[in-house]
Amino acid sequence: MPRTVLVLEFILLYVALPLAYRFSPVRVPALPLLWAATGYAGWQLWRDLRFDHAHLWNAGTLTGRLVPILAVFAVVALALWLGVRRFAPGLQWSFVRQHPGFWAVVMVAYPVLSVYPQGILYRAFFFERYVGLFPGKWAMIVASAAAFAFLHIIFRNSLALALTFAGGILFAARYAETGSLATSCFEHALYGCWLFTVGLGQFFYHGTIATVGTAMRQ
């Protein structure tokens, strides 16, 4: 594919679409748009004869990485909990306490409906499609993380951007290391589910600005 077309496609998917959603005067559900973009990415991967479709799952690599993944997660999860406890105690465990049934549904549905589609769009497709635009392993990892973080401008708060950029580095590096979307998405799901559980899910859906200030004063 010509480089110009790749650049235009990249801008449309990873820049224009989040910006259009962020500044749209009409509020529409985000997940169907994510699924539509992921459907396009999946279709392009499916018709790409050079792409190894095993990368779309390849769960066999997870076993060997499980201990380091969980070790890093334990440290980060503790730090996030301490941060919530110190700076926004009103948010601590708020989702679990206020909506335990819905929380349980999210713990199951979020990895399937959100994490895996994001994995296809921001890792499997991104790494296959744009390697010519970002030559080098770490250039790809950083570019993937930046695009992943930029998606989260739709939530209109800087914490979402900071956390998703850091997470994006970790998830993209894991994909680059393993060639396994299952492994990368497992790690992504761990952190995402923890954010919702510990109380920071408030920053990852619309309407956060009004609630965060109240929580921090409690």
For 112-141, how does the pLDDT look when each residue is reduced to its tens digit (9 = 90+)? 999 999 999 999 999 999 999 999 999 999
Q: Do residues 169 and 141 make contact, with C-beta atoms less than 8 angstroms apart?
A: yes
Mapping DSSP to helix (H, G, I), strand (E, B) and coil, where does residue 86 land?
Answer: helix
CA neighbor of 10 nearest in space, from 121, 119, 116: 121
Whose CA is closest to 94, among 209, 8, 186, 218? Answer: 218
Containing structural domain, residue 57: 3-217
Q: How many domains does the chain have?
A: 1
- Our measurement of the distance from residue 119's CA atom to the centroid of its chain's CA atoms, rounded to an integer in Å, reads 7
In angstroms, the CA 45 to CA 108 distance is 26
pLDDT (tens digit, 9 = 90+) per residue, 162-184? 999 999 999 999 999 999 999 99
Q: How far apart are CA 36 and CA 211, in angstroms?
A: 30
The token duo for 13 is 């998917």
Using a 10 angstrom Cβ sphere, with 0-12 exposed, 13-18 middle and 19 or more buried, the burial of residue 165 is middle
| pLDDT tens, position by position, 42-81 | 999 999 999 999 999 999 999 999 999 999 999 999 999 9
Rounded CA separation 47/34 (Å): 20
Model confidence, pTM: 0.93
Per the CB < 8 A criterion, the answer to whether 123 and 155 are in contact is no
Average pLDDT, integer, range 147-153:
98
